[in-house]
Structure 1
């Protein structure tokens, strides 16, 4: 098992993972639309002159089996950066083997290197298994939007 930063040549694999994530989110009633990204958009927006987001890839036996896609945010009031985790996915047959935690801890390492105050994200109200997983990592529900939890994983107090 290995976690690494995604490279431009991973754009096709990222598109495939995003498609799987959309399917998973539809099954959890967290997304009901169509994706409109393309390999070219991913290459331009993640690996161009101004990357708007970043991705970590989880490899198992040399095959990419998961990813975390995130971007940086900045609070002018706090004077601190944070990370918004947009996508986290471990392919089905590799779930519940500790790989999600490895990917999250790799993201935490990235956050600590950048002196990030916290990582935030949301999850489908129906994905209670994920809610429990995030809480075990040490994340807290920062707020609720109706039934949808918004998580916050503090990097320091």
Structure 2
């Protein structure tokens, strides 16, 4: 079962983000607070959106997708950038990840968006295999760059 997140889901989204950061071996980088998540998802000007994967029997949240709109100057339309997709290890392989991606693809098609994009760590072979089995292809000719912390402050200061 996939549903749109509500403000009541903030604690579980926060917990899932922390679990994802631990899985990706960078728990100290997950600094977002529940208050920040609430403002980003449900504030006056939402910057992002989220969907919850829930167990079909219990309704317990077991995963989430957090995304925002991108824009392609070449295509002239929006797309979705998937910031985080996470399904708890105990239920992986049960279809929750595919259901979350299917919902985002459905939104793209319904709204005329032409891209659904995300990043995956090079060492995360299970995720890469999963994404490629769905038909996703890596954009190997692109390298992601990021400014954070001191480098960002130095450039922007």
- TM-score range (shorter-chain normalised) is 0.7 to 0.9
2:121 to 110, 120, 124: 124
1:109 aligned partner: 106
1:24 aligned partner: 23
Residue segments in structure 2 that go unaligned for 5+ positions in a row: 145-157
Q: Which runs of 4+ in 1 moved over 4 A?
A: none
Q: Could you give the per-residue CA deviations for residues 47-70 of structure 1, whole angstroms, max 9, x where no partner exists?
A: 111110111100002100000111
Structure 1 residues 32 and 9: CA distance shift in structure 2, 3 A: closer
Aligned length: 142
**2:29 aligns to what SS in structure 1?**
coil
1:4 aligned partner: 3
Equivalences for 1:140-151 in 2 at 5 Å? 140-144=137-141
| Kept in 1: contact 2:7–2:38 (CA 8 A) | yes
1:151 aligned partner: none
> Greater share of helix residues, 1 or 2?
2
Q: Could you give the per-residue CA deviations for residues 15-64 of structure 1, whole angstroms, max 9, x where no partner exists?
A: 111101111111xxxx4642211111111111111110111100002100
CA distance in 1, matches of 2:53, 2:27: 26
CA distance in 2, matches of 1:74, 1:86: 15
2:84 aligned partner: 87
User: TM-score when scaled to structure 2?
Assistant: 0.84
2:37 aligned partner: 42
Residue segments in structure 1 that go unaligned for 5+ positions in a row: 149-157
- Higher mean alpha-carbon deviation, 135-144 vs 57-66, is at 135-144
CA distance in 1, matches of 2:111, 2:22: 32
**Over the residues paired in the alignment, what is the CA RMSD in angstroms?**
1.6
User: TM-score when scaled to structure 1?
Assistant: 0.84
Name the larger-Rg structure. 2
Structure 1 residues 134 and 18: CA distance shift in structure 2, 3 A: same
